[in-house]
Amino acid sequence: MASKVMDLIYWKDTERSGMVLTGLVVGLLSLFQLSIITVVSTVSLAIMCFTISVRIYYQLLYILSWGDGEHPFKSYLDLDISFSGEQADLYMQKLIVMTLSAVDTLKRLFFVGNLFESLKFLFLMYLVTYLGDLCNGLTLLIISVIAVFSLPLFYRRRQEQVDGVIAKIQAHIYNIKDILQRLVQGGGPPPDPTPGGAKPKTQ
């Protein structure tokens, strides 16, 4: 299942990836005008009309001896999506660990376990308020879907250039973090001018 999802994201099958992306975007866009119940029921009706029509068509071909009678959706019906008991326990344990970790992180942020981290979270929430004025969660979800189907492929084709830009951005972020940490701690020596605060090698 994971490999099939990755194939969709990296456009191994262009036709299938295009259909999935188009369906997701159109479905999310329809939520701007219709309720989620209406969208889900309409999409379900459309899918059922298509699958039933195809199933009847293949059955007619078999009756007329023009087909082998094989189920047109046999590959989907045979797809194994079940979990063993051990796998279910493993995924449940991971979910519990991730949930507890997220709750513990939020607890430390809201109750100022680390002043610098809480200030960063405060600044982030302040920026999110402006983001909320510009767009809603549905718009962000649509952008996220498009990004999932475009950014990985773009990164694979332009990996060297992207890595170079990311390295420069990280270097600036490290320097800004150094300055903010010294301000929070009451001052200190000036930050190292080299990227990321790394010390230049001496001969």
Write out pLDDT tens, residues 160-184.
888 888 888 988 888 888 887 777 7
Section 85-95 average pLDDT = 86
Q: Between 197 and 175, whose confidence is greater?
A: 175
pLDDT in tens, 140-150: 888 899 998 88
Does the structure show a pLDDT above 50 at 48? yes
Domain residue limits, the chain: 1-185
Query: pLDDT tens, 99-121?
Result: 999 999 999 999 988 888 888 89
HEC sequence for the chain: CHHHHHHHHCCCCHHHHHHHHHHHHHHHHHCCCCCHHHHHHHHHHHHHHHHHHHHHHHHHHHHCCCCCCCCCCHHHHCCCCCCCHHHHHHHHHHHHHHHHHHHHHHHHHHCCCCHHHHHHHHHHHHHHHHHHHHCCHHHHHHHHHHHHHHHHHHHHHCHHHHHHHHHHHHHHHHHHHHHHHHHHCCCCCCCCCCHHHCCCCCC
pTM for this predicted structure: 0.59
